[in-house]
């Protein structure tokens, strides 16, 4: 948390970041369970003529796959549930017909996102290759439709350019590499015109193909297919002005010699950038040695895999992709079927084999990794297939700031009996990013001080990827605008979405409301704000956007106008992550001037039931409910208020909320004063509910004012996780547990400390229909930085409010509902 914890935090971070290096090795197949793969496409999208997925890309939140089909290639898109045909199903001769209108255009060989459009490079052995762009609605021909002999004519004006084998984007330009028996070419596009930047195989006409392409630091790298059986593949780099040969110019048998020193490596078949290195996979033309993988650090080439990963029938590294944690390589194996291998920087593990159970899947020619998910497209003579798996646990944080008066932290809790590797990627408004890899010990927790990682005065969002089931939170302590001290906390969001909802919001005097949006994708996100106001109904604001791999903050007071109680439905053209911080000078019912801030991540789906474990109407607390109805019709919401032991029977109420509006409920007015209260809200319609609370906390001698806010839990659970908790001086941590069921619950609480690991287990009983509060400082002990796991014999709801004096006049509180696991 604040400065007094920095010394121990820094020591823990340095220890966790220190990862010993060892030379790469192959781990036994049984040493770790392989990924669980799910097939999403079989039989060539129900067309056996689609024998291969030649290229894949993510665009606008959808996965796009282009096929090989002798009757004309096709393109399909996937929203995570259903595949839709984009090209191939239209009328012959039209852009959505087979082969984009030409049956001779038989393969989609490459794909890339450039600007706000998807580009597809195709093979046409008859008249020359073509390039098409897609804006989400319409396909346009960029190459192939112009006059013969011109850059927009077939084959970029050269019919021998029969394929666009590779694509990449560097410094605002799209690059396309061709296959040409007279020597490959590379073309550059600025969105208006095409320019040739390499010809005749980089001076070696045996370089028939620009087979692979990647951007590494500030250079474009191209790997070739070399048709000279006595030579081998080459690698060339381009700085925007001139080409430099990186592989092929050295002495035979050396890493910079032809074929990385092995003339059987005739093709640099795949490229990817991983962990500050460029990785290149090869194709073994001899059929007797197996593929290799080489890494480049900007100066030296190192072989990190040989002999087809121990199986020489893995002839090619046919596709390659990298996440923040690992590098993935898929193979061509016509004997037993393709395989998928994972590299963590030290060792290789096989995560898929035998063609995913179908030896007919000889090659995995296309692969895409984003966040937790891997998608692989295969070549199969009885129809291509697409397979996917979840490879990581992901969390996103849209809000973050290290400017004057703000201290930002990341708390990572690992309840697993194994250490967790976590890739932390920081993303900034200008589209740049920085990353680090940390290790969270087994059954422990780790705290990162974001200010120290990214430096001062940065607006920052975070993307986390872990190889274990961790939980993550982001507490922040601040003096907002130099005058309002406080703190807020948020749980990590598991996945981006194109829609986000927020029930609470206010632009009146003493309130500054913000919407923070992270766009982790590779296309611009165009935003529409649909506000449901209590005073004026729905108000729509458009014309806002967030660039790819970037973040932005929007002040609602300026967008919507003053003095409006509002809820929000945020719509985006591509998946984003959204949070809503509010900073306040809260007058309340008696002119309090309680200062602070609170922040909640949005929800991507509405529900019919919400639970709130925490709540009180005791002196010094003002509790509210905000109810959002984004529906076209009026809804009724039923409330059950569950009181503390000995405070009376359950109180039932109902509220009517008109369409496109939001409603506010003052909880003390519903249940009376001096109550501890949990709440269950239910409706036959889908809606959203939040619970803002403002307070002057005086527990255990404190006198700290502030506020907190949470969106209700969508379900009760037998298992809850919380990453943050601190019982040091100046911090009071509580657990509020609600049992909405009809059975008493036996509860087991595990505290995972940063100092001593797992502490002795604690048990308690939680009566049916009641709530219970635990003071963690006494329950776990003093002086601990904690993550918390709560297990119950029947479903319950868990929140963790914290109150603090962080030093420097920063006092207040924050609260989160735990991450529940349905079991």
Q: Which of 5-9, 37-41, 645-649 ranks highest by mean pLDDT?
A: 37-41
* Of the candidates 457, 477, 475, the residue with the CA atom closest to the CA atom of residue 401: 457
Q: Are the CB atoms for 206 and 179 separated by under 8 Å?
A: no
For residue 47, pLDDT over 70 is answered with yes
- Which tokens hold the place of 406? 């703000």
Burial 687-718 (b: 16+ CB within 10 A, else e): bbbbbbbbbbbeeeebebbbbbbbbbbbebbb
State the maximum Cα–Cα separation within the chain, in Å, rounded to a whole number: 89
Using CA atoms, how far residue 494 sits from 76, 185, 473, in Å, is: 26, 42, 12
Rounded to whole angstroms, the Cα distance separating 233 from 226 reads 5
799 phi, psi to nearest 5 deg: -125, 160
- Separation between Cα atoms, residue 433 and residue 524, nearest integer Å: 16
Contact of 503 with 689, CB cutoff 8 Å? yes
pLDDT of 719 higher than 90? yes
> Cα separation of 786 and 601, whole Å?
22
Distance CA 169, CA 176 (A): 9
Whole-number Å distance between alpha carbons of 733 and 614: 13
- The pLDDT confidence band at residue 799, using thresholds 50, 70 and 90, is very high
Query: Is the per-residue pLDDT at 544 higher than 90?
Result: yes
pLDDT score of 615: 97
pLDDT at 51: 98
**How many C-beta atoms lie closer than 10 Å to residue 491's C-beta?**
22
Q: pLDDT tens digit string along 152-198?
A: 999 999 999 999 999 999 999 999 999 999 999 999 999 999 999 99
% of the chain exceeding 70 in pLDDT:
96
How confident is residue 644, by pLDDT bands cut at 50, 70 and 90? Answer: confident
Torsion angles phi and psi, residue 205, rounded to 5: -65, -15
CA–CA gap between residue 295 and residue 278 (Å, rounded): 5
Helix/strand number for the chain, H first, E second: 7, 61
Those residues with Cβ within 8 angstroms of residue 327's Cβ, 6 or more apart along the chain or in another chain? 272, 274, 275, 279, 320, 321, 342, 343, 344, 345
**What is the tens place of the pLDDT at every residue in 73-84?**
999 999 999 999
How far is CA 771 from each of CA 124, 286, 616, 666, 722, rounded to the nearest angstrom?
69, 71, 11, 20, 18
b (16+ CB within 10 A) / e for 285-324: beeebbbbbbbbeeeebeebbbebbebbbbbbbbbbbbbb
* pLDDT for the residue 214: 98
Place of tokens 């920052």: 460
Taking the C-alpha atoms of residue 517 and residue 732, their distance in angstroms, rounded to an integer, is 31
Is 736 within 8 Å of 749 (Cβ atoms)? no
Query: Distance between CA atoms of 665 and 426, rounded to whole angstroms?
Result: 38
Instruction: Determine the pLDDT at residue 502.
Output: 98
Task: Give the mean model confidence (pLDDT) for residues 611-633.
Answer: 97
Dist. CA 442–CA 422, nearest whole Å = 13
Beta bridge partners of 594: 586
Residue 16 has pLDDT above 60, yes or no: no
CA dihedral for 649, 652, 653, 659, sign (positive or negative): positive
Structure tokens at 481: 């605008």
DSSP assignment string, 465-483:
EESS--EEE--EEEEETTT
Q: Give the mean model confidence (pLDDT) for residues 579-603.
A: 97
The 10s digit of each residue's pLDDT in 680-701 is: 999 999 999 999 999 999 999 9
Categorize the per-residue pLDDT at 25 as very low, low, confident or very high, splitting at 50, 70 and 90.
Answer: low
pLDDT at 793 over 90: yes
Please give the pLDDT value at position 823.
47
pLDDT value of position 27: 58
Q: What is the pTM of this model?
A: 0.93
Distances (CA, A) of 745 to 413, 689, 717, 735: 25, 26, 11, 15
Asked if the model's pLDDT at residue 663 lies above 70, the reply is yes
Instruction: Calculate mean pLDDT across residues 456-484.
Output: 97
- Residue 141 pLDDT > 70: yes
Percent above pLDDT 90 for the chain: 94
More confident residue, 16 or 471: 471
For the record, the structure tokens of 690 come out as 């939040």
279-312 pLDDT, tens digit each: 999 999 999 999 999 999 999 999 999 999 999 9
Per-residue CA distances from 38 to 334, 386, 387 (Å): 22, 9, 6
Nearest Cα to 594, choosing from 579, 581, 582, 612? 582
CA 40 to CA 378: how far, in whole Å?
A: 12
Residue 6 has pLDDT above 50, yes or no: no
Nearest Cα neighbor of 49 from 383, 494, 351 is 383
Query: Which contiguous run of DSSP H or E holds residue 6?
Result: helix 6-17
Q: Are 12 and 447 in contact (CB under 8 A)?
A: yes
Per-residue pLDDT band at 23 (split at 50, 70, 90):
very low
Q: Judge contact between 654 and 636, C-beta under 8 A.
A: yes
Distance between CA atoms of residues 76 and 386, nearest Å:
11
18: confidence class by pLDDT, cuts 50, 70, 90: very low
């Amino acid at each position: 948390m604040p400065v007094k914890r920095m010394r121990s935090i820094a020591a823990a971070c340095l220890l966790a970041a220190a990862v010993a290096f060892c030379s790469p090795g192959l781990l036994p197949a049984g040493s770790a369970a392989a990924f669980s793969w799910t097939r999403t496409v079989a039989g060539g999208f129900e067309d056996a003529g689609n024998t291969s997925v030649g290229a894949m890309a993510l665009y606008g939140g959808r996965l796009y796959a282009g096929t090989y089909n002798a009757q004309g290639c096709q393109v399909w898109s996937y929203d995570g549930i259903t595949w839709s045909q984009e090209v191939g199903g239209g009328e012959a001769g039209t852009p959505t017909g087979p082969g984009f209108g030409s049956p001779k255009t038989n393969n989609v060989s490459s794909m890339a996102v450039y600007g706000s459009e998807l580009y597809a490079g195709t093979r046409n052995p008859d008249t020359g290759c073509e390039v098409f762009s897609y804006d989400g609605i319409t396909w346009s021909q960029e190459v192939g439709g112009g006059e013969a002999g011109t850059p927009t004519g077939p084959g970029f004006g050269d019919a021998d350019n029969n394929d666009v084998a590779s694509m990449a984007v560097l410094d605002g330009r799209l690059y396309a590499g061709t296959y040409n028996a007279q020597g490959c070419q590379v073309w550059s596009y600025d969105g208006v015109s095409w320019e040739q930047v390499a010809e005749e195989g980089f001076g070696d006409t045996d370089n028939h193909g620009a087979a692979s392409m990647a951007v590494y630091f500030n250079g474009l790298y191209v790997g070739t297919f070399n048709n000279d059986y006595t030579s081998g593949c080459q690698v060339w780099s381009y700085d925007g002005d001139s080409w430099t040969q990186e592989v092929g110019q050295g002495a035979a048998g050396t890493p910079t010699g032809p074929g990385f020193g092995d003339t059987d490596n005739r093709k640099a078949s795949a490229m990817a950038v991983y962990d500050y290195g460029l990785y290149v996979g090869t194709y073994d033309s001899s059929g007797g040695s197996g593929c290799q993988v080489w890494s480049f650090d900007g100066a030296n080439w190192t072989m990190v895999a040989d002999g087809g990963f121990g199986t020489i029938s893995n002839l090619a590294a046919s596709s390659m992709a990298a996440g923040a944690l690992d590098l993935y390589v898929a193979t061509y194996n016509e004997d037993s079927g393709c395989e998928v291998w994972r590299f963590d920087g030290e060792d290789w593990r096989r995560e898929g084999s035998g063609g995913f159970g179908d030896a007919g899947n000889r090659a995995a020619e296309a692969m895409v990794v984003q966040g937790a998910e891997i998608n692989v497209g295969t070549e199969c003579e009885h129809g291509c297939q697409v397979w996917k798996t979840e490879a990581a646990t992901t969390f996103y944080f849209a809000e973050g700031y290290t400017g004057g008066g703000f201290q930002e932290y990341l708390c990572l809790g690992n309840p697993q009996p194994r250490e967790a590797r976590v890739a932390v990627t920081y993303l900034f408004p200008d589209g740049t990013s920085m990353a680090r890899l940390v290790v969270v010990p087994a059954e422990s927790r780790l705290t990162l001080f974001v200010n120290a990682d990214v430096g001062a005065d940065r607006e920052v969002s975070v993307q986390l990827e872990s190889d274990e089931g961790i939980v993550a939170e982001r507490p922040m302590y601040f003096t907002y605008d130099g005058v309002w001290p406080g703190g807020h906390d948020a749980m990590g969001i598991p996945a981006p979405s194109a829609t986000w909802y927020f029930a609470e919001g206010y632009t009146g005097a003493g309130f500054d409301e913000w919407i923070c949006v992270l766009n982790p994708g590779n296309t611009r996100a165009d935003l529409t704000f649909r506000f449901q106001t209590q005073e004026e109904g729905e108000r729509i604001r458009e014309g806002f956007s967030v660039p790819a791999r970037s973040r932005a903050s929007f002040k609602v007071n300026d967008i919507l106008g003053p003095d409006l109680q509002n809820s929000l439905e945020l719509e985006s053209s591509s998946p984003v992550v959204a949070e809503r911080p509010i900073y306040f000078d809260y007058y309340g019912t008696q002119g309090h001037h309680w200062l602070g801030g609170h922040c909640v991540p949005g929800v991507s789906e509405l529900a019919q039931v919400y639970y709130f474990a925490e709540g009180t109407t005791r002196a010094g607390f003002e509790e509210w409910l905000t109810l959002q109805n984004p529906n076209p019709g009026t809804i009724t919401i039923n409330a059950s208020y569950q009181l503390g032991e000995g405070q009376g029977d359950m109180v039932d109420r109902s509220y009517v909320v008109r369409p496109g509006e939001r409603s506010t409920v003052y909880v003390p007015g519903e249940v009376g004063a001096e109550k501890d209260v949990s709440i269950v809200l239910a409706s036959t319609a889908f809606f959203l509910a939040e619970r803002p609370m403002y307070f002057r906390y005086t527990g255990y001698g404190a006198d700290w004012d502030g506020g907190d806010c949470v969106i209700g839990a969508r379900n009760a659970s037998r298992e809850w996780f919380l990453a943050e908790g601190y019982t040091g001086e100046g911090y009071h941590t509580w657990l509020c547990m609600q049992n909405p069921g009809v059975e008493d619950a036996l509860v087991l609480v595990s505290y995972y400390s940063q100092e001593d690991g797992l502490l002795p287990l604690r048990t308690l009983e939680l009566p049916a229909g009641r709530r219970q509060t635990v003071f963690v400082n006494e329950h776990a002990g003093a002086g601990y930085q904690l993550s918390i796991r709560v297990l119950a014999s029947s479903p319950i709801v868990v929140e963790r409010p914290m109150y603090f004096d962080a030093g420097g006049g920063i006092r207040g509180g924050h609260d989160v509902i735990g991450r529940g696991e349905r079991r």
